[in-house]
Amino acid sequence: MAYSELIKDFNRIRDYMRQFYVYGFKTRDEYDAKSARSYDNERRRIESWLDAYMSFRQEPSGRVSFISIDSTEVPANPLYNAFKAKSFTANDIVLNFCILDILQPGERMGVSEITETIDEEYMSFFENPKVLDEATVRNKLNEYVKLGILISEKEGRKLLYRRSEDSVDLEQWKEALSFFSEIDPVGVIGSFLLDKMREHPGYFSFKHHYILHALESDIICTLLDAITDDCMINDKIIPYQICLSTENGRGYLLGRDMEAGRFQMYRLDKLQTVKKGAFAPQKAEFTEAAKAFTRYLWNVARGPKIEHLEMTLHIEPWENHILQRLKREGKHGVIEQVGENRYRYSIDVCSAAEMRPWLRTFIGRIEELSCSNPEVTKVFYEDLDQLYEMYEERGGDGNAVS
């Protein structure tokens, strides 16, 4: 099949984009591609979509392609382009423009009339016109009804189609769309809306901006729809909540596995396909249990029991920003002053081990650390010893870790 920069299926390209963007050190031979040509085609597509953001370097083992983006410098998420590359047939594009041109506001027509009009007033324009039969036109009309672009109405025994009403003033939404298209988990929809406009506000920028979630937009969109409508997904999971990290961009679904009879966090990047299923009448009876499941989470990990952790920090009077950090980052933990310049932070969590990266950010002021799970403090102090060793300066210039 000839190469095209458009794609029919999103799953295969999603993985390549993730690899190019997140990792970016693999050579052509290291991809698990079915064939070298498959890799070449996917790389070429991504290059075409992300033109300015693809980089290359030559290594002894081969050429490495990677996507490198400082996300504070891009006003719009370039990864959304992948969702704007869906392939289509010639009939799709011709019917799109002809149908919408015929069904101007106020017009209502049946499928036969629309088919005739296309044939007589549009295709007759061309030397080699396209022959579009009524069944093809009907399929497209019904597809557009499902998308909400058209409305079908019965008049007697005849089904008439008209354009749906659209009184949204997009111009007044322009700034909101520019903002939410970047920060909302399904902001790609906002990006589609912005594409309808000639000019976009270019004065928003975004810090700590994890743009990779864009690649899961379709998954998240289906999940949100299923959550709103209280429906199952994939025939066995009741979805409750999308849980996202602002510190690494990773996302999870909190769902109840009805076969296993328990709640679980599903990584969004591991969900290949999500299918909205039937209404789940049992959802309401587990709502409180869903809240209970997340009550003592630090991030997303569950342990066998609730663990208690205490950390005492040395904070000088002029270091109010450290206290502020504890308050804003410490979640449901409690802070109390326990002496001169000494503050104790204590918390009950499902998995204190999950807190270790955050605890390490206070290195330099930790006076005491204790946990009901001794493994947590053991690993913490072993890691600390390794750090001392790693940065130990031999020869001594006065800055050694001693």
Partner 1 sequence: MLFHEIYGNYFNAVAQILGEAVRGELTEKKIYEIIDSKAFAESSLNIPQALNSGEWPLLEENLETPLLNEPQMPLTTLQKRWMKALLADPRIRLFDVPAEGLEEVEPLYRPGAIVYFDQYADGDPFEDEAYITNFRTALQALRENQKLQVDFTGGKGGNHNWQCTPLRMEYSLKDDKFRLIVCRGGEERVINVARINRCSLMEEKASRPQSIARPKRRVLLELRNERNALERAMLHFSHLEKETTKLACAEDANVDAAADRYRITLWYRSEDETELLIRVLSFGPMIKVLEPDSFIQLIRQRLALQKRIKRDGSS
CB 135 within 8 A of CB 85: no
User: Is 243 among the residues that bind partner 1 (CB under 8 A)?
Assistant: yes
CA 188 to chain centre: 9
Q: Give the count of residues interacting with partner 1 (CB under 8 A).
A: 139
Tell which one of 180, 286, 323, 335 touches partner 1 (CB under 8 A). 180
DSSP conformation class of 120: I
CA distance linking residue 274 with residue 277, whole number of Å: 9
Tell which one of 119, 319, 323, 358 touches partner 1 (CB under 8 A). 358
CA angle 255–296–365, rounded 5-degree value: 130
Among positions 153-172, residues that touch partner 1 (CB under 8 A) are 163-170, 172
Q: Which stretch binds partner 1 (CB under 8 A): 35-43, 203-211, 277-285, 303-311?
A: 203-211
User: Is 373 among the residues that bind partner 1 (CB under 8 A)?
Assistant: no
| CA-to-CA separations, 269 to 15, 42, 67, 86, 90, in angstroms, rounded | 9, 19, 18, 20, 33
Q: Which stretch binds partner 1 (CB under 8 A): 31-39, 188-196, 277-285, 302-310?
A: 188-196
Among positions 28-57, residues that touch partner 1 (CB under 8 A) are 47-49, 51, 55, 57
CB 252 within 8 A of CB 243: yes
Closest CB 304 distance from partner 1, rounded Å: 20
Nearer to partner 1, 281 or 318 (CB): 318
With left for phi above 0 and alpha for psi between -120 and 50, is residue 331 left, alpha or beta? Answer: left
Nearer to partner 1, 57 or 236 (CB): 57
Nearer to partner 1, 112 or 324 (CB): 324
Among positions 258-297, residues that touch partner 1 (CB under 8 A) are 294, 297
Q: Which two tokens stand for residue 394?
A: 């031999």
User: Is 115 among the residues that bind partner 1 (CB under 8 A)?
Assistant: no
User: Is 77 among the residues that bind partner 1 (CB under 8 A)?
Assistant: no
Give 94: exposed, middle or buried? Use CB within 10 Å, 0-12, 13-18, 19+.
middle
User: Is 299 among the residues that bind partner 1 (CB under 8 A)?
Assistant: yes
The answer for residues whose C-beta is within 8 angstroms of residue 357's C-beta and 6 or more apart is none
Closest CB 154 distance from partner 1, rounded Å: 19
Tell which one of 242, 268, 349, 371 touches partner 1 (CB under 8 A). 242
